[in-house]
Amino acid sequence: MRPAPISRTRRNLVVLGGTAALLGLLFLYPTSTNSKNGTTSSAAPPGVVRTAPGAAAGSTVVNGTSVPTRYGPVQVRLTIRNGRIITATAIDYPSSGGRDREINSYAIPLLQRETIAAQSAHIDTVSGATYTSDGYRGSLQAAIDTAHLKGK
């Protein structure tokens, strides 16, 4: 016996409604774990933090701006003495996921070493960490500009 046309229409409407509801829920699901309630994170305010008498005589500590990247913000802190960068530290970088931590565990130390060697923001991109490298260079250049360093 064939079902009545009204019950078939009703069943189609239920299926269509359920599909639309499920699709709507999927669009509402957050796909990134780097979101911080829609705000941009900043590990520290940019600019000169302090003239560091405790760290080393005549040293100045400068934060670059926090640069947003696809995977999260990147921010660099420099310690400068006698017009030279003596330390470069990434104080904020993507680290919320396992892949972020894996990539940045090798990329950040490389970028920091290259900064000391180059004494400028003219450093190479780390293969596999393009977004972090770009954000790092942007924050580094902001810190260098704030410190009024000339670079090589």
Burial class (CB in 10 A: 0-12, 13-18, 19+), 13: exposed
Q: What is the mean pLDDT of residues 101-119?
A: 95
Is the predicted pLDDT of residue 152 greater than 60, yes or no? Answer: no
Could you read off the pLDDT of 33-42 as tens digits, one per residue? 444 433 345 4
Per-residue confidence (pLDDT) for residue 36, from 0 to 100: 42
Q: pLDDT averaged over the chain?
A: 83
Per-residue confidence (pLDDT) for residue 113, from 0 to 100: 96
The CATH number for 73's domain is 3.90.1010.20
Domain span at residue 135 reads 47-147
Q: Considering the domain boundaries, does residue 12 fall inside one?
A: no
Q: Considering the domain boundaries, does residue 142 fall inside one?
A: yes
Q: Considering the domain boundaries, does residue 111 fall inside one?
A: yes
Q: What is the mean pLDDT of residues 90-105?
A: 92
The domain tally of the chain equals: 1
Could you read off the pLDDT of 64-89 as tens digits, one per residue? 999 999 999 999 999 999 999 999 99
